[in-house]
Structure 1
């Protein structure tokens, strides 16, 4: 493909006079846009030919637009094209202006690459409204068989109609080409130059050329088609010969000849002399008598009549829906003429159905983030959503479409409009329209911003072709740490054929790996493994011009002994400051905070090394997991982080975020990583048997008598024992019995038991256990119902009602 620089031309409309668009023309409808064939010549293959002419009609013209115009394949070569009254040579490497019929060509340099003004009318005919004064267009060569056209709306003539023709004045047609030559228009997805196609010539060498120049999609209620018959020379259509169009199984022609309209396209007007005879699946066409043959090469169009109510007669009927195959309806061309081609597509058949799909489900979005107003990247922009009718009328006026995100996502913008404000501003705006169908956003449903509602508005008078609608420029907010496919549930009353679609692949903005060391409880300054933090892509760590931070957050009972070493090992992230800070509860050295100067332009990796921990005696055996978060990774607006429990069920002490909009419960990290494991020495491998007696201050351990300062007692049918002495009796050392003024902590091997006076809940390694009676303080000692404290340490218990004794046995570990 050879590309050139844009050539730009401003077309200034001076005097606008009448345009007559012939009735025989193809039309590819779009929202306010049509492509109408004006001349469809019959040509031969293997040579440079002049192809046809078609009109672009945009009503109203209100936006910039671009589209690629292409002939069927690279064997075709477009050498010259005429847009309005300006001609361009496309035979070289780039488009060159070659002049205008109303201009002095010497005023223009055909090789020049900057803007120029053409002062002639783009099309000297009525059709453009008076308030369309000027527009600028650009043309560039995109391939041998195609070019791109860009229309630049300058804000003049809002709501005006713009019409201008395009002619393919020199095209190299390959050898062996046959049938209709279609020019395909592929729009960019936005603007007013929409997808479509138009027949620009037919290749034939016999008596007649037959083409379907305006086809429709239809369902069981039938459809219409416009068929063009062109003579290769004057007098080819005769009364003695018959042209036949034969439909496939399941279809037939309308049996009323009066429902058919015959009009002249050019040459001798023989339209009134053409006889139409429908006979089930065969449509016969002939002249009434030999006196009516053409004296100039003629072309006629055959289509359904326009009825008094403004509708068009449907001349193709579905005779047997069990035999009618969905897809293109291809009619065979038969009869006594030498006709090109031997078959034509007269329509597309399908059941009423509407599909919905994502245009790019592979797009990546980041957990914990959402669209940032000042970011140069499209952060968390998800796939556009395409809605297509199989046949016109599948979408019904007033029906709804509901798109519900999963629990880890919230709508933030739809159609580039923010929809998640607390006051729900941005309701009821138009998303797209096509072929008489408008899709309107009607607000968010519920209270969690997950369900977006859309309403279909259909103009039955203009809904002739199936609509294709697109919901573009959509952004979501995503819960931190939740990854995987972002699947949207499809609902509503519109009857869409798909239950769900995937809008994005959700990933964490960083991947984190770590080495792991062993550490012991109750020991300070212990080495932990280094941590590597790698961006998924450049800018994934969103520094917000140095305002946001990346935080490594330690769990309860662990703090940094000293400030680790932090450096960038790859990429171009620029670290500004590194500090150890306290959490919201005032615990020192709980958070390693990394500050930056700016976002990366190359995906970067941060290494955190020389990490040393102080591990207190409340930490249970197992991994020490570090949270990796901070405002550079978690940007979603959330509630005060000091007032909720995080996604692992523990109260979080991380800093508060202050936003107006609340999306999630306030998770403050995207990933956890273990860089140390708490290990403890094996407990004493002896069997412990302890006996306590109600109202006695003595107890025995393995037969040895000991004294306690608070005697066991019975209250409300429960036997209470002093927890400290139970712990001693079962082998807990005095160093492992801790009291912080609120709760008592006991450490035995890999068990950490915590009891809070006044509460019925004790915890074992952090897991809550509900007792049937609360713990309490008597004579300065924490007293707990004996069965619960014994079982917390894994001991067996026995109650002797006669002797009023409690026996506890802890087997050797």
Structure 2
């Protein structure tokens, strides 16, 4: 038994907490947990040679935070959790078995979950109990099933076997067998030696000279309560078959009914017995279950189990964890191995029964947890302190320069670090550090328990408060609380910390931080402990077209003053939303210490402010006007003003990545937080196809592949429609649609009007990939050469455009359909300018019907440089190429055209209409400033961006200019920011 020791302890225990992945599971899965010390000891002296034990000893707790078993086909008894505990300045007490005994495992409802793995158990409700005293849990019929070790000798050979039965049917009760005959708790089934068996044989109590080689010892002969021997067959000298001899005296019974079932002679008996090595097999066959009675050194298991196929069973139906093995690597290192499956909320508790190796002042004893994944280092479970008192305050407060503030209303707590250290103390002084002063002693009170103490509190100096007459009062639980302290930051600067030094009588001083000097500012934040929500882009808030059930809500976003009065109402402010992301709802979670019209501002008034701000921000940002609120609470006794809200968001198809919500204004510091992340519900893979015009059935040599982002994500009925932009090229009706076999997705396909459509008839079991192959095109013979994009329209994108915006402009929008004639911005489709393009240059027409001219000159245009290179010639530019606000590479039209060999006189500029015209072979190409269209021989072709005028020079996006000139070889080097035309030409 562990020894109890005496400690001089603080009244309050402390807890040490550190997050960690506490242990790793073998390749079958992964378990993660947090590690904490419960009831960590803070002592001033350790007696009994430094031993740490007893009912209130510290406890290491590993709380399961996630349990991910990746290979579900693996038996639970093969799942192994292993972790190593290493002590610093301490050693483990007890044997491996005693340490294993001290480990408990409970679920979140505090039920013991240690059990025995029973892989062969059948689905049944009976509970079989293998015990050493013949008792047990019983079963639904009330019968107790017990297995007894039996042994006998014949021809100088020892036989061992198990006899199994129920009360009244050839049953030999284990409690009537001499100690040592049955396998005892703490012993192993196998390895029971011959000598040990002989010690238990009954023949030692009978006539030693008799030949009992054909006799079998029994207990409770025929339920008569008599113990002795029964002859298995007639030996001619010492007895006849069935003759019984009691342990004391002779009592003959002329019957063979005492023999085991279907055993009538000794030869049959010898054929029926089991050796020690066959015990587990025999039990499996007899009970259709396995039993673990191993109680080997360092191993603890339970033997009570409920028969349920392939389950852990044990002290209750929650048994999910089997053997706990402790291996003492060194005096200060143990390795713990546990077999079984864990669930979130389970707690593994290890008693820290240890002995400190050094017990001087300021020494600590720590434990670290090591696993294959991560370590949790230095969790303190015992600390020896020098000071006799401790001081703490639950919450520090903020104070601005040259301002006053009340300290935390809960007060400054002064408590004994050593029992009785405040006994007899009459005076306590509180001293502030430089830069801070106490404003007054008036209103300062001292409490112990729930009673205000009768003491004097005086302001000795501006920086020193003195509490006297303390000894005349009763101190409850060794703790007093000083309340009502007000301080001023007289000369402290922003970032300085206010510290109170506490001295109780003649004891050592202790310090506690109580306030921090902060600048007037408003801080934007989210809860860092919460996971950033992941939302699918290109779908409405109801997730039309997909099976995801997310609510599209961001993390809670908080705007809070660093100090009362920091948030001025005199200027407006803006909450920014990334481009391509839109708000469909705003929830005010909390707001406090704002005033409007002289009263506390309500949630409804803040909601109205958000609506007006989103409308003023053109449904792109929240632009709050001046005096959204009249004022904030500037009373320094109150908490700072704060606003917490949640946004419901949708995002354009193709928008992926973090959503940074920003906060900016003339009187606030610009800042942002990540409040959500968007991912696409699908990806499209398509390659560029260089084709010559061939009016009908032009073959596309590559495939289109659409891949689902997650298993079963696309909803039944969701449609995907592909088409080529500008309607000058259309699909023929002969494509093949194939969903990969592993997904089990079924499709319905439609090919009409030059488009390709597939509909999901059944959701996938695994994330699906749909391949569109064997595609052919119809191409207008008058089509200009150049690139043509692949566009995708989906059920998701249709519903997305019809999503009602937050703070819609027209009151009828709530009951109207998207596309109705309404005023203002009401739906996402009214304001979004996203592109349905999934592949920019899916079809690249490399020859036309009216123009066979081709450029071969290689032209290199480095962005930002005042030159380009045409062939081997460097040509100076008065205005360099650049990347515009939309991300397009803009090339100077005249410079690039002439570099390719077009005569300078064939590049014309009309100042009145701001139109540039290029005469190239049989082509007349014209583009007008500000318009996202160009004309080739009078035929309009949409461009990705409008013509821009920079320093009196016309610029056009690189790919549009190349399309106009019939150039198909276009490359872009993002590292060097360089565009190359005809890079592959000679």
Q: Which has the larger share of strand?
A: 1
| Rg larger in structure | 2
